[in-house]
A = this chain, B = another copy of it.
């Protein structure tokens, strides 16, 4: 079993990508278990095989403890941690090739609380796993937005500690020229540096350039894989990247 955790900010397209990735994997005759671990989601665009909502009732928790939406999400995740072994058991009982885990919509309540990383490790245990970190095309279309999003990705990566791929989500909102530009930034970081110079000044420019140096030092830190879940484009490429990690393990990500 190979675990794929789909993470990113609220609205970055995690659930749609989960659905499209499932569809693609099934179409390529691989078996998939789809797991939803967002207690607060309503009507996800897939049918989950395993669902945290069968273990915690977000709405009930909100009422019972008189919490707002954030407080209820955090409380739900904390409580769900007690059920991690049961959730894992459902996953191992199914025993399929890939396990796609759609993570909570609010990354800051999931990555930056102890319960998020604990849930992730409790679910995959010693099975191989990676994280797909989604960049919102709307923000990544500008050079400083691109850098800022990747930095956020590194910060999240340090929380979860899994090999991580940066996925440019909803790439269909970009024009062909924009997409080409971003692919160039991904492969040739000096073009990203030029874009930062052209489009920013002062502190923003300074910090963005420092961040770029760090990303380059991390080996392929500026790389992104564009995907449009809506149009089902880029998924084959993404699968190729996933396979390199499945085959090479952590080594792949430090290879230059």
Q: Which residues of A contact B (CB under 8 A)?
A: 9-11, 40, 42, 68-70, 74, 105-109, 112-114, 136, 138-139, 144-145, 147-149, 151-152, 154-159, 161-163, 200, 202-204, 206-208, 210-211, 213-214, 217-218, 250, 253-254
Are B147 and A158 in touch, CB under 8 angstroms? yes
Q: How many copies of this chain are found per oligomer?
A: 2
Are A106 and B108 in touch, CB under 8 angstroms? yes
Q: Which residues of B contact A108 (CB under 8 A)?
A: 9-10, 106-108
Instruction: Determine the main DSSP class of A at the interface with B.
Output: helix
Are A211 and B214 in touch, CB under 8 angstroms? yes
Give the distance in Å from the alpha carbon of A137 to the alpha carbon of B13 in the complex.
30
- Closest chain B residue to A71 by CB distance? B11
Q: Which residues of B contact A114 (CB under 8 A)?
A: 138-139
A157 interface neighbour in B40, B203, B253, Cβ under 8 Å: B203
Are A207 and B70 in touch, CB under 8 angstroms? no
Are B159 and A155 in touch, CB under 8 angstroms? no
Give the distance in Å from the alpha carbon of A218 to the alpha carbon of B105 in the complex.
31
Provided the pairs A139-B112, A214-B214 are in contact, do residues A207 and B148 lie with their beta carbons within 8 angstroms? no
Give the distance in Å from the alpha carbon of A147 to the alpha carbon of B154 in the complex.
10
Are B155 and A136 in touch, CB under 8 angstroms? no
Give the distance in Å from the alpha carbon of A148 to the alpha carbon of B108 in the complex.
12
Give 10 new A-B contacts, CB below 8 A, not counting A106-B106, A161-B203: A69-B70, A106-B108, A144-B159, A147-B158, A151-B151, A157-B203, A161-B204, A203-B253, A207-B218, A210-B218
A249 to chain B, nearest CB (A): 11
Can you list 24 A-B pairs with a CB-CB distance of less than 8 A?
A: A9-B112, A10-B108, A11-B109, A107-B108, A108-B108, A112-B136, A112-B139, A112-B152, A114-B138, A144-B158, A147-B158, A148-B155, A151-B151, A151-B154, A152-B155, A155-B211, A157-B203, A158-B204, A161-B202, A162-B203, A203-B253, A207-B218, A210-B214, A210-B217
A154 interface neighbour in B11, B70, B207, Cβ under 8 Å: B207
